[in-house]
Structure 1
Amino acid sequence: MPGLSMRRCSGQARVLTMALLLAVPGVFGVRHAHAGLFDDEEARRQIRDISTKTNERLDTFAKGQIELANQIQALREENSRLRGQVETLIYELDAARKRQQDFYVDLDGRLRKLEPQAAPSTEAKPADEGKPPLDTPPRKAASDPAAETREYEVALNLFRANKLKEAAAAFEAFARAHPDSNLTPSAQYWLGNVHYSMRDCKKAIDAHRVVASKWPTHAKAPDALLNLATCQQELADAKGAKMTLETLVAKYPDSAAATTARQRLKK
């Protein structure tokens, strides 16, 4: 019976082999299924991470855009507020300049009333003395203080009315027509102020320099030097302005203009 036993063992071996062969593909299939499931889950996780990071970046960008827009709006409002303040300051400065102008014009009129006026001589002269000698040059026509005052007042009123071009022409005409009048230094001084009001500092400097050099003892000479220094400063001539202020302090130490000049020199 040994042959029968061997055949049975051989049959059982074949059955076991077949069972193993049938079982192996199943095992491999399960492994592949698990591997596929793992790959899909990892991909979904990475996609979620990318989506989360992208959303966070978009949120940060959106917040930055909103903050930038708010800052721009705030700057616009600040700019508008500052523009309003500048316009207000310009208006107040113009008003203050006009008040100061009116004050000085009024003061000029009051001071002129206190100045002695030249009066024509009324003494009688012999008939032969009324005619100049033949070798004597002709005398200048006698000035009319009243007429000069009226011309001067016309120019001053034009300046007071802020008719600057007309005032400049009137003061220039007065200075040419009455070079020896006691009102000519004041006319020249106001001519400088008119040019300054028209923002022509070069002509203002020329006019004030004439006052300071031609009539150094006149009451307006210190103020002319102070105005001259102001114009030099506005033209960025700091050295020239300093020299003018120092000259003013040296020549007119007790004047009100010198007090202002000392304050400016300290700055």
Structure 2
Amino acid sequence: MIKRTFALSLLSVYGAAVFAAPAPVADVTSGSNDQRIEALERMFNTRTEAQHRMQQQLDTMQQEVNELRGSIETHNYQLERILDRQRELYAEIDKRMSGVANSPTVPVVADSNNVQQSGGVISANENEAYDKAVNLILKDKLYDQAIPAFQSFLQTFPNSSYASNAHYWLGQLLFNKQDWAGASAQFQTLVSKYPDSNKRADALVKLGITEMERSNSARAKQLWEQVIQEFPDSPSSKDAAKRLKTL
């Protein structure tokens, strides 16, 4: 009686699962009760093992999909940073070319080391010092040497038309070295003293990051919200929005 009941239970389970996945065909209608029960048990075990293998395959596929998704997100972020970097370089080149285009054709004033430009008199030494500092980054990749070069430039030419860019580059160099306090000071100077700088949006984003790194999430949130408000359609605004979601 017990074996018959167990056999009926197995038949019920088997019948419910018969449409879920194909199973080996076996004759369970002939032979003794023991033989029929053994046949049902074998079929049940075979189906269970097949379902386990299928689940393992699904789990493996899901893991691969997750890894691919993470890789795509990482590549997208890296591409976005590369594009931002290119925009910064183009802006820097435009500024330099604009300064050359707006300057008179070789005007010489009392000091032959000075060149007259539309915004006032810019020393040739000033141009040389700024070019040297920038080239240490863009051309020579000597980032550690570029830090004192920009510091010296800002100390020597605090009122230069290149001062805002110098603060940005110096802040970026210190940021890359994870000198959060030093980077914050440079970005804050740019934001406070040069509201019209084309690097203001990115400086605000990075200023927020330095605040987060120093456990000041409330200030970081305020800065990133400011970026979105002031520059709603900029890449910096998208970056700030992503960072806000992580808070």
TM-score bracket, shorter-length normalisation: 0.5 to 0.7
In structure 1, list runs of 5 or more residues that go unmatched: 1-43, 123-142
Give the Å deviation of 1:194.
3.4
1:145 corresponds to 2:120: no
1:172 corresponds to 2:151: yes
TM-score, with length taken from structure 1: 0.54
User: CA 1:248/1:92 → structure 2, altered by over 3 Å: closer, same or farther?
Assistant: closer
Give the Å deviation of 1:80.
4.9
Give the Å deviation of 1:195.
3.7
1:73 corresponds to 2:60: yes
User: CA 1:190/1:111 → structure 2, altered by over 3 Å: closer, same or farther?
Assistant: farther
Map 1:29-108 → 2, pairs under 5 A: 45-82=32-69, 84-86=71-73, 88-108=75-95
TM-score, with length taken from structure 2: 0.58
CA distance in 2, matches of 1:229, 1:144: 29
CA distance in 2, matches of 1:95, 1:248: 20
Give the Å deviation of 1:191.
1.6
1:184 corresponds to 2:167: no
Give the Å deviation of 1:145.
1.0
CA distance in 2, matches of 1:228, 1:189: 7
User: CA 1:86/1:55 → structure 2, altered by over 3 Å: closer, same or farther?
Assistant: same
CA distance in 1, matches of 2:77, 2:232: 28
Give the Å deviation of 1:247.
7.1
1:230 aligned to 201, 205, 210, which one? 205
Percentage identity across paired residues of the two chains: 13
Larger radius of gyration: 1
CA distance in 2, matches of 1:148, 1:170: 12
Q: How many residues align?
A: 195
In structure 2, list runs of 5 or more residues that go unmatched: 1-30, 112-120
User: CA 1:47/1:243 → structure 2, altered by over 3 Å: closer, same or farther?
Assistant: closer
| Cα deviation code 1:3-55 (max 9, x no counterpart) | xxxxxxxxxxxxxxxxxxxxxxxxxxxxxxxxxxxxxxxxx834224313321
User: CA 1:106/1:233 → structure 2, altered by over 3 Å: closer, same or farther?
Assistant: same
Q: What is the Cα-based RMSD across aligned positions, in Å?
A: 4.2
Map 1:103-252 → 2, pairs under 5 A: 103-113=90-100, 121=110, 145-161=123-139, 162-196=141-175, 202-213=181-192, 215-216=193-194, 219-220=196-197, 223-224=199-200, 226-234=201-209, 236=212, 239-241=218-220, 243-244=222-223
Secondary structure of the structure 1 residue equivalent to 2:32: helix
User: CA 1:259/1:72 → structure 2, altered by over 3 Å: closer, same or farther?
Assistant: closer
